[in-house]
Chains A and B, each alone.
Chain A
Amino acid sequence: MVKEQKALACMLFSGPYGSQDADIMARIAERALDMGYGVKIFLYGDGVHAQMSGQRPKAFFNVGDALERIAKKGGNIKSCVRCSEARGYLDGGYDDDNERYISSKSLDAVRIYSLYGFIDMIKDAHTILTFGST
């Protein structure tokens, strides 16, 4: 049933809740996974706030929960280390075993990584969609 693993890469540049972009990206990414495509997501700029653990919006679409579902379904989610460090997410160096920078504030579903993580996604992706960046 698995289609040829063509990958859809998504970049999110705006934070959750401030705009609908994170919701839109998460819905498209999850739909792509359900349809049998590979999905890679890069959180960039304020988009890294989507990695915050413990998100509890009262009436809005829960972006954190959506990212966890996406990761469980096989989506590969990375966030920019430079943007994450600037916004206070880091509390350790690079963890070789788990291939991510250490952060107690970030969801397990998201790996904090260098910008080259996004460049590799661009290289491998069949299609790139960007959200919240214009």
Chain B
Amino acid sequence: MKKVCMLITKPPHSGEGAERLCGISAHARAGGMEVVIYLIGDGVLCAKRNQTGHVGHHVQTALAKGVEVVASRDDLLARGLAETQVEPGVEMVEDIEGRIVTDVMEHADRVISW
């Protein structure tokens, strides 16, 4: 199965980022690809639980479609977001750099960073 890894460092409510990311994720899943999204820096704000509007919808839909969402634990905790405040299904990872490097260098067929 082809695997696409996408890295996002931008917050979800400014710009078209979250919508575009989730759009391409849904498309990749529909085409039978494995999809991993890495949330790092302000990107971790995409993982906040109970978001409404299009951002909440997009994140929840992506998770429901089997997109793997991996967020930097340190970036979340530093922003005051504990595990209970994170959307269920999002994986909080301590060594996010190691995870990203391993995946993009060994497992990914396509890498996109926004």
Hey, which bits of chain A sit against chain B, CB under 8 A?
A: 6, 8, 19-21, 24, 27-28, 30-32, 35, 37, 126-132, 134
Contacts and interface: CB of A to CB of B under 8 A. Distances in A.
B36 interface: no
Nearest to B42: A20
B3 to A, nearest CB: 12
Contact of B97 (A27, A126, A127, A128): A27
Contact of A24 (B17, B41, B105): B41
A134 B98 contact: no
Contacts of A37: 101, 105
B104 A35 contact: no
Contacts of A32: 97, 101, 105
B87 to A, nearest CB: 21
B10 A8 contact: no
A21 B101 contact: no
A24 B100 CA distance: 11
Interface in B29-52: 40-42
A28 B97 contact: yes
B5 to A, nearest CB: 9
Query: Main secondary structure on chain B at its contact with chain A?
Result: helix
Most-contacted residue by chain A among B17, B41, B114 (CB, 10 A): B41
6 contacts: A19-B41, A20-B42, A31-B97, A126-B105, A129-B111, A134-B17
B105 A129 contact: no
Given A129-B113, A130-B113, A131-B9, A31 B101 contact: yes
Nearest to B102: A35
Contacts of A8: 101, 104-105
A3 to B, nearest CB: 9
B41 A20 contact: yes
A127 B41 contact: no
Given A129-B113, A134-B10, A28 B41 contact: no
A127 B101 CA distance: 10
Given A32-B105, A134-B114, 19 more contacts: A6-B105, A8-B105, A20-B9, A20-B42, A21-B41, A24-B40, A27-B97, A28-B97, A30-B97, A31-B97, A31-B101, A37-B101, A126-B105, A127-B105, A127-B111, A128-B111, A129-B104, A129-B111, A131-B9
